[in-house]
Amino acid sequence: MEKLDWCKFSTEDTLKKLSATTEGLSSKEAASRIEEYGHNEIKFKKKSTLIRFLEQFNNPLLIVLIIAAIACFFLWAFMGEEHVLLDMWVILGVVLATAIIGFIQEGKAEEAIEALKDMIVDKCTVIRDGESKEIPTRELVPGDIVVLESGNKVPADLRIIASKNMYLDESMLTGESIPVAKGSEDDQNDKNDGEKYCMIYGGTFVTSGRGNGVIVSTGEDTEIGKIANLMQSSVQTSPPILKKISEFVKLMVASIIGVSILMFILGVLEGYDIVYMFLAMIGMMVAMMPEGLPGAVIAAFATGSTAMAKRNAIVRNLPSAETLGSVTVICSDKTGTLTKNEMTVTNIFSGNKIYNVDGVGYEPVGQIHEKGSNSKTNLTQELVQTLRAGFLCNNSDIEKEKGRYVAKGSNTEAALIVSAKKAGVDEKLLKIDEIPFESKQQYMATLHEDGEDNLIYVKGSPERVLKSCKEMLVDGKKVTLDTEIVMKNVEDMAKDALRVLAMAYKRVPKEKMSLEEGDISDLIFVGIQGMIDPPRKEAIEAIKKCKTAGIRPIMITGDHALTAKAVARQLKIGDGEDKTLTGQEMSEITDEELYDLVEKISVYARVKPEHKFRITKQLQKRGHVVAMTGDGVNDAPALKAADIGVAMGMTGTEVSKEASDIILTDDNFSTIIAAVEEGRRVYDNIWKVILYLLPTNGGQGLALATALFLSPFVPIFRERLPIEPVQILWVNLIIAIACSIPLIWEPGEKGLLERPPRDPKEKLFNRFFIKRVGVVSIITVISIYSMYMLFLGSVGNSIEYLSQAQTIAFTTIIMVQVGYLFTARSFEDSAFSFNPFRNKWVIIGASVTLLLQVLLVYSETIFGASPFRTEPFPSIWWIPMILIATTCFFVIEIEKFISRSVKNK
């Protein structure tokens, strides 16, 4: 179907273009159009469940575990190591659990698309063959006339051709909770600035009134259909940390396999037995594979998610707990996220005086004072009448719920009630009749009893109300209306993006018991009230933190450009930028032109869903890690495309929540910044885990390689390796579980929000990584051989003591890693600069590790058997091993001290 702006056409022209009439289509014509346009339904492309599950194993972290499990199998099959079977099953269990978690998370992303199906109603009423009938929604075609009344869900996109007092709830589409007035009024000049007064969309809800509309789009051509297509075409981005780990693991696996094969070839060439060298190669692979890394990373994500939940951010996708800490740009909605979503009267013009109103939101606390004065003003007659008009010409209310005031009805009317209550003008008069607000007339009027007379109060657009006034009230006296001065104050308020309503009244005889349009004349103008949805105080502070943290805040709103600029100015978003880009302007430029603009513009107004999607894509193209907030169905494609989709928990639709990675339970921008801080802590702690685990693997791998290459010169190495493969596997698992995982509970480093975001292109394998892992790996190798050779030297290098020497080497690795654990808790800060008990899990982990090692060393004495081929050694040897452990601790502390000194120069 040709894409047209149907609000540009009159009702008659619309029907003509659709070859339709108000009598509806014939059944024959409808059947023909189904052949041409297809059924009114959205088709979804889905991968099979099996394919989605199998794809989870295409993950380098899981490949590491699978290789380790295979190595365990070979140790069991060829060396008879029965105990490694348990380790193999544990590793495979971790693989399966990780795949299942990923499968469930991917399923949640597909649920977002599935949730769109629930937006479409099953049946609707149409006019066919000149009569009203109910048909299945899927049989609707362009040109059908649909009958709608209060309570109906809209079945497809319609152009209204007739209506009466029709209001629609478009919150499922836009996220805005206030019902929107709709009608058949032609808007050939697009006076409504893109609001599409005469258009209604599939999935929205008629809250009041009734009307008829002609179908202009069905199925995938509807707004919901376009959203579904955008979501299906959007590729979920991989979290930065997983990208980095993936790249690193690929390099590491290739290196480990390469080194192990090289060791096998050289060993065979040196004359070693092939079977022995094959087992040595497997031992090398086991030694250097960080089997505990996947489990530790998942645990870090999980603990980060729990911490975020305590700060009002629910994580739906575990890696998002870290990704949020990597963001370089946060694109946020205005209403309800950066602002309170509570309209507040801030300015009043009455009796040629300007007043300011204190207080924010719906809590009726605050004062009204004349501009330039801080003291409470005396209430003039005209000011009282201005406030009374807003209070009485009103169908809304405010109520206290769960400790806070909320609007019951229109936000605008609630703001007028609050301003009146702040001045104590809240006396209710019996309402006799009213003329409800309609877009055509641009005013609302009410008739009230007031002693011997009745009163008409009117509120509406200044232009329309002033048209009906001849006089105004100044100092309690009626004077000739000065339209010029009133409109100047209207314009001044409009420049500050205030929504302005004018108030007027007149007295009528007691006998007057009904209102007609003709009664809205000869009114007395009393004043105007200007209101705005004010920025949250905590959002202003959060924007400051955002900038300090090197994150660029961007406001994307459906509101008018003037309002967006005013709010952005108060929040200090886009400081120094003159330009605000509107949706209309975005529609007229290419993606290449938008690519050039996204770095220069921080405020976007009057945007549509496809605009948010395009902004996201161009920011990502520039290398940014993008967080996008949203609450409506129309936000779902951008939420899904962003690196982090953030949905609103209080006002968000189910579709937006399903498409998101994180849900804010309080809809507050400051919560995003708190979650960013938590995300950075999660990343730091994952990095600490990696820096802690890798030296263990590196040290063990180097120890085995060293033994092999020195074997021609040190015959004892031909008899037995310094450590057994089964002991290596134990070290890897116990260090991963008992020592590295406690690091994920480390408190955040100082100044988490005072440093710039990490460079998304930065590799894990950087200079700091090489230095820290290299130093600890070398210390580990030196410690192993120092203790191994020292002990053998003390017993005359006798072969019968090899098992004890191996046990000492095995225990030395554990001792070195426990010593390293206490300095690995911070990248740069000295372990002496913070409370050693700030993370109890580190103390517990170290204690459990040492206790289990003592039990293993003396297992033959205690239990009568040694599952890990250990043999008790003289207890005097614990002293040098403890000294070795403290040596590692102090070497890293000295290295950190030197780094800090160089950095501070």
Q: Which residues pair with 167 in a beta bridge?
A: 181, 208
Report the Cα 66 to chain-centroid distance in Å: 33
d(CA 816, CA 783): 8
Burial of 806 (0-12, 13-18, 19+ CB in 10 A): buried
Residue 717: exposed, middle, or buried by beta-carbon count in 10 A (0-12, 13-18, 19+)? middle
Q: Across the strands, what pairs with 401?
A: 404
Pick the catalytic residue from 144, 187, 333, 519. 333
Structure tokens at 423: 């001045």
Dihedral, CA atoms, 140, 144, 147, 148, nearest 10 degrees? 60
Distance CA 767, CA 762 (A): 11
Instruction: State the Cα–Cα distance between residues 519 and 434, nearest whole angstrom.
Output: 11
Q: Find out whether 664 and 312 touch, Cβ atoms under 8 Å.
A: yes
What phi-psi label fits residue 428: left (phi over 0), alpha (psi between -120 and 50 degrees) or beta? beta
CA distance 125 to 769: 67
Angle between helices 84-114 and 293-310 (to 10 degrees): 40
Tokens of 28: 């024959």
Residues in the chain: 905
The position carrying tokens 């609302």 is: 444
Q: Residue 821 burial (CB < 10 Å; 0-12/13-18/19+)?
A: buried
DSSP, collapsed to helix, strand or coil, labels residue 172 as helix
DSSP type of residue 378: P
**642 alpha carbon, distance to own chain's centre:** 9
Residue with tokens 């890696």: 319
- In our burial notation (b when 16+ CB lie closer than 10 A, e otherwise), range 252-267 reads bbeebbebbeebbeeb
Q: Which residue type sits at 565?
A: K
Q: DSSP class of residue 60?
A: H
Residue 333 bears catalytic tag:
yes
CB 497 within 8 A of CB 532: yes
Q: Are 289 and 729 in contact (CB under 8 A)?
A: no
d(CA 729, CA 721): 14
b/e map 379-410, b = 16+ CB within 10 Å: ebebbbbbbbbbbbbbeeebeeeeeebebeeb
* Measured distance CA(892)–CA(883) in Å, rounded: 14
Burial, 892: exposed, middle or buried (Cβ in 10 Å; 0-12, 13-18, 19+)?
buried
E strands, 276-409, in order? 313-315, 329-332, 344-350, 353-357, 368-370, 397-401, 404-408
Residues with a catalytic annotation lie at 333
